[in-house]
Structure 1
């Protein structure tokens, strides 16, 4: 079947965004995301509330995706969905819906690994960018994951470094919470950092062997630093917010770049791609571009809309799996922990 006649309806529901997309081959026809605002008042994602919101959103989101793509559901070649990793309650909503729609339409079902999708998002057809060449190194950075992955082909991937505790997105969000910034705080730290001095305050760099990461110690050092400074001056955070954010972001970015540089040295691979929600961070993007200039890396940074959780990235994996006839049975189940 030619890619022009392969239509993939994709569903993503791993955390707190309900998303549906329609792809024609590797081209995105629609990519609809319903973001759940209810979690903001709790300072983080509440799993039970997330799954309830998915149940409310999934039908209208899928309907809108098909409408924007301007295709009838009878033209759909297969249903791709996020099997994991993620919040079990959220995953169950997307999994159940995908299985039911697959049965109803009589089309194949394709289970997708969420983290693999972040990596293959680079292969969505885009006139403004070219996909990485195999083999390449992918750094997947999000609220729940921090990994360096050796990508040999579309389906042969090996994790060569990962966080031992907290993910980088969690480090950003929890640091923001210490500063009194609302959830999600990572983008707010990025915004304030752009107006601050990254060398104003120095936070320690964790000593972690190999290509692995650790961010729990960094969070603790930020907590103690803020406690000490606010005891001396209650207005310290308010008067130094931009500099604090810039310094926190600088340390996190240097941790990521140091490990990535080490991975390049060990593997000899200079083809670099990033993915995941935190790859939208301006400091990380700027550092990658500087590395490209000074270390002769070839860097690949996805469009912002393909960085955060979205169904288009699920659809591109579905497309490549469809070409390999890699389908799932109706007995397939969601997996909260699901390694690449």
Structure 2
């Protein structure tokens, strides 16, 4: 029996990137993203400016996604969109557009949990890698989240560990700000770290009450005090040691993440290990995880770069999986800034 062809338009607007994608079943036909450079001047995302930019971007981005996919809107079977978590003003733009279009086309509306989408991006059809089998562990690392999840089904997630304060992406960005690097600073730390010596400086791993939880608040403070101390002795310390500082900070963060992930694998007995989220684009995290594959007998799953940061393709794959189960949303579905991983 021939597999039914399902076309889904998906919309992502949880933060400062406006995304639209078209999927044919689990295959991505288009994945369009419009960024917002206006936030660079403020050193972080300004919610009000973000929502205004989404209003300007969403129509042309959706139009481009459909044209790139070669699909007319009348060929769509459903509209998937990010319900949350995220910035409320930004979410409202995507939610309103998705609801209006689904009503106009008389097709199902599919609300998607943004954090589930990061994890399930691994189920986008790719020639180079198969999706992980259930159950698998996934470490989701981004500017707002740091979690280790046990994923038992596409809609069943168990939090084994999570940050008790700041997320790892914030640790990267705040460190970059201390170093005088522009926003977003995480990718720049990765860039400069490649030229530095990771053993040049050492930073201790924060202790947490539960073995699989993370803490980065104290870690950021220790970097601040370290830089203040060294700059008193040498005002040009950062300028003269930028590469080594970046390499040392990055190595410390990666060590923290991998120690927790290794412990989670030991406790759970699961050997299929995935990473997801914007920080999973970091080159040292990717290479370190790959090296642990051979050392520890893991099978690792690393997403393509375009599916790590916020994008609509990952929303679309969740939409497709929910469509197969006829798990649709109502017209009165509302966006929410906070959303549990299983909601």
Cα distance change on mapping 1:64 and 1:88 into 2, 3 Å: same
1:269 maps to 2:270: yes
> Aligned equivalents of 1:81 and 1:3: distance in 2?
24
User: Counterpart in 2 of 1:116?
Assistant: 116
CA distance in 1, matches of 2:116, 2:228: 40
Distance apart, 1:130 and its partner CA? 1.1
Number of the residue aligned with 2:79: 79
User: Per-residue displacement from partner, 1:76-118 (whole Å, max 9, x unpaired)?
Assistant: 0000000001011100100010000000110000000001000
Structure 1 equivalent of residue 32 of structure 2:
32
CA distance 1:2–1:122, shift in 2 (3 Å): farther
CA distance in 2, matches of 1:231, 1:57: 47
* 1:170-185 correspondence runs (5 A): 170-185=170-185
C-alpha contact (below 8 Å) 1:3/1:25 kept by paired residues: no
- Once residues 146 and 301 of structure 1 are traced to their aligned partners in structure 2, the CA distance between those partners, rounded to angstroms, is 16
> Deviations along 1:163-189, whole A, 9 cap, x unmatched?
111110000000000000000000000
Would the aligned equivalents of 1:3 and 1:26 in 2 still touch at CA under 8 Å?
no
SS in 2 for 1:5: coil
Q: Which runs of 4+ in 1 moved over 2 A?
A: 1-4
Aligned CA-pair RMSD: 0.9
Cα separation, 2, equivalents of 1:210 and 1:301: 24
Give the length in aligned residue pairs: 340
SS at match of 1:184: coil
CA distance in 1 between counterparts of 2:102 and 2:242 reads: 50
Does residue 227 of structure 2 align to residue 223 of structure 1? no
Deviation at 1:35, TM superposition (A): 0.6
5+ residue gaps, structure 2: none
| Distance in 2 of aligned mates of 1:278 and 1:2 | 39
Inter-CA distance 200–330: structure 2 relative to 1 (3 Å threshold): same
In the superposition, the TM-score normalised over structure 1's length comes to 0.99
Residues 2 and 57 of structure 1: CA distance in aligned 2, closer, same or farther (over 3 Å): farther
CA distance in 1, matches of 2:215, 2:286: 21
Deviation at 1:47, TM superposition (A): 0.5
**Whole-angstrom CA distance in 2 between matches of 1:128 and 1:35:** 28
TM-score normalized by the length of structure 2: 0.98
* 1:4–1:24 contact (8 Å) kept in structure 2: no
1:23-172 to structure 2, matched below 5 A, reads 23-172=23-172
Gaps of 5+ in 1: none
Aligned to 2:255: 254
CA contact (8 A) 1:47 1:89 kept: yes
Cα deviation code 1:295-330 (max 9, x no counterpart): 011000010000010000000000000000000001
Is it true that 1:310 corresponds to 2:311 in the alignment?
Answer: yes
**C-alpha contact (below 8 Å) 1:85/1:335 kept by paired residues:** yes
Residues 27 and 3 of structure 1, relative CA distance in 2, 3 Å threshold: farther
Distance in 1 (alpha carbons) for counterparts of 2:178 and 2:218: 15
Q: CA deviation at 1:210?
A: 2.0
